[in-house]
Amino acid sequence: MHHHLFPYIKSYTYQAHKTGIPVMRAASLEAPYDEKTYDMTDAYYFGSELFVAPIITAGDQRTVYFPEGTKYLEYFNKSSVYEGGSSASVEMNVHYIPAYVRAGAVVPRGDIYQGNNKWTKDWKPELTIELYPSKEQEVPITMKTSHHSGQVEIEYGPVGIDGKIVLFARDGMHNATLHAGGGSASFNEVESLFDN
């Protein structure tokens, strides 16, 4: 998972270098308007798109408070949506960590750096950009959602390597080709996972 999130981590490490804002962020840094985040010591943002709430006691369960301002989708199973400003009891087995993606998020993932992996014959870089559209937000890469038609338009600049775009919607995953030199993609009649 850490290796596959390398494109995401790399982009936030670059931002940290430029701005001084760390990759791992106190919840109050991302949600300063929510006073309940000021005393939060056991959950954090990983970049601005992912909210992580580790289970730090015995058992597979904990209560998670979701900071105000957006909705959150359980990241690994894509099964539960939580409203910002609410708390929920969540359960995860030892193989997962409670992690949530914000509505409107763009999460680049993939195997883009071979490093010392010289044993994989015909290795080539692979990049996937996960999109979590919401009628509430527009994000830079650029992802625009039509409130009426459900059409999602994606525009992006040069990313360096070919890959794929994966859009997560109520009816499942939708794929489009990601072009190294930049381009666009369009998805029609998308029902957001964040809508009731």
The answer, as to whether pTM is greater than 0.85, is: no
In-domain check, residue 117: no
* Per-chain mean pLDDT for the chain: 87
**More confident position, 91 or 1:** 91
Residue 44 has pLDDT above 90, yes or no: yes
Q: Are 30 and 83 contained in the same domain?
A: yes
CA distance 165 to 194: 19
Q: Given this model, what pLDDT does residue 57 score?
A: 82
Residue 137 has pLDDT above 60, yes or no: no
**More confident position, 195 or 24:** 24
Residue 182 has pLDDT above 90, yes or no: no
Tell me the three-class secondary structure of the chain, residue by residue: CCCCCHHHHHHHHHHHHHHCCCCEEEHHHHCCCCHHHCCCCCCEEECCCEEECCCCCCCCEEEEECCCCCEEEECCCCCCEEECCCEEEEECCCCCCCEEEECCCEEEEEECCCCCCCCCCCCCCEEEEEECCCCCCCECCCEEECCCCCCEEEEECCCCCCEEEEEEECCEEEEEEECCCCEEEEECCCCCCCCC
Q: Given this model, what pLDDT does residue 29 score?
A: 92
The residue range of the domain holding 56 is 2-105
Into how many domains does the chain fold? 2
Q: Are 100 and 178 contained in the same domain?
A: no
Q: Are 6 and 88 contained in the same domain?
A: yes
Q: Given this model, what pLDDT does residue 111 score?
A: 82
- Could you report the per-residue pLDDT of 52-86, keeping only the tens digit for each? 999 888 888 899 999 998 999 999 889 899 999 99
Residue 184 has pLDDT above 60, yes or no: yes
Q: Given this model, what pLDDT does residue 138 score?
A: 47
In-domain check, residue 116: no
- The CATH number linked to 76 is 2.60.40.1180
Q: Given this model, what pLDDT does residue 140 score?
A: 56
Q: What is the mean pLDDT of residues 79-105?
A: 90
Q: Given this model, what pLDDT does residue 139 score?
A: 43
